[in-house]
Amino acid sequence: MMFFSRRVLFTAVGCGLIWMPSAALRAQQNDAPPASDQQSAAPTGAEGQEADPLNRQLSDKDRYKAQKALRQELKGTYKTWLDEEVTYIISDDERKAFLSLANDEEREAFIENFWQRRNPNPDSPENEFREEHYRRIQYANDHYAAGKPGWKTDRGRIYIMWGQPDSIESHPSGGLYERPIEEGGGETSTFPFEVWHYRYLEGVGENIDIEFVDTCQCGDYHFTIDRSEKDALKYVPGAGLTEYEEMSHSDKKDRFNGNGLEQLGNGPMGAGDQSKEFDRIELASKLFAPPPIKFSDLDAALDAFSSSHKLLSGPPFPFDVRTDFVKVTDSMDLVPITIQLRNRDITFVTKDGVSKGVVNILGKVTTIMHKTVQTFEDTVEVEEPSELLEKALDGKRLYQKSLPLQPGLYRLDIAIKDVNNPDHIGIYGRALDVPIYQDDKLGASSLILADVMNTVPSRDIGDGSFIISNWFVRPRVAAGLATPVSFKRGQELNFWMQFYNLGIDDATKSNSATVTYEISDAAGTVILQKQLESKDLGAHSDQLTVEKSLPIAGLEPGKYNVTVKIDDAISKQEIAQSAPFIVE
pLDDT digits (tens, 9 = 90+) for 261-314: 778 776 655 555 555 667 788 888 888 887 766 556 666 666 655 554 444 556
The mean-pLDDT minimum among 153-162, 366-375, 408-417, 433-442 falls in 366-375
What are the distances in angstroms from CA 70 to CA 28, 98, 105, 475, 515? 11, 12, 15, 60, 77
Three-state DSSP at 185 gives: coil
Higher-confidence position of 64 and 336:
336
Pairwise CA distance, residues 384 & 393, whole Å: 10
Strand partners, 556: none
Residue 33 has pLDDT above 50, yes or no: no
What does the CA dihedral 414, 420, 421, 427 come to, rounded to 10 degrees?
-10
Q: Nearest 5°: phi and psi at 515?
A: -105, 130
pLDDT (tens digit per residue) in 11-27: 333 333 333 333 333 33
pLDDT at 101: 81
- Residue 99 CA, chain-centre distance (Å), reads 29
Phi, psi of 478 (to 5 degrees): -80, 150
For 346, phi then psi, to 5°, come to -95, 140
pLDDT of residue 560: 95
Specify the CATH architecture of the domain 438-584. Answer: Sandwich (2.60)
3-state helix, strand, coil in the chain (%, to 5): 25, 35, 40
Instruction: Tell me how far the alpha carbon of residue 337 is from its chain's centroid.
Output: 16
Encode pLDDT of 220-263 as tens digits: 999 998 888 999 998 898 898 888 788 877 788 877 776 667 78
Helices 104-117 and 92-99: crossing angle, nearest 10°?
160
Instruction: Calculate the average pLDDT of the chain.
Output: 81
Nearest to 222 by CA among 136, 288, 134, 292: 288
pTM of the model: 0.53
Distance CA(183)–CA(73), nearest Å, equals 52
Q: Is the model's pLDDT at 41 over the cut of 50?
A: no
For residue 21, the model assigns a pLDDT of 39
3-state secondary structure of 514: strand
Percent of the chain with pLDDT over 70: 78
How confident is the model over 63-85, as a mean pLDDT? 72
Q: What is the predicted pLDDT for the residue at 57?
A: 59
pLDDT at 461: 63
Q: What angle do CA 458, 463, 464 make, to 5 degrees?
A: 130
The region, left, alpha or beta by phi > 0 then psi within -120 to 50, assigned to residue 202 is: beta
For position 59, what pLDDT does the model report?
67
Per residue in 191-222, pLDDT tens? 999 999 998 887 788 889 999 999 999 999 99
pLDDT for 48 equals 43
CATH superfamily ID and name for 311-436: Immunoglobulins (2.60.40.10)
Query: pLDDT higher for 547 or 539?
Result: 547
Domains of the chain: which residue ranges?
9-41+51-117, 165-288, 311-436, 438-584
pLDDT one-digit tens code per residue, 330-364? 888 999 999 999 999 999 999 999 999 999 999 98
- pLDDT cut 90: percent of the chain above it: 45
The pLDDT value recorded for residue 62 is 65
Q: Do domains 311-436 and 438-584 have the same CATH topology?
A: yes
Q: Which residue did the predictor score with more confidence, 251 or 526?
A: 526
Beta-sheet pairing, 443-444 with 9-13: unpaired
Q: How far apart are CA 443 and CA 489, in angstroms?
A: 32
Range in 126-135, 170-179, 284-293 the model is least confident about: 284-293
Please give the Cα distance from 533 to 566 (Å, whole number). Answer: 10
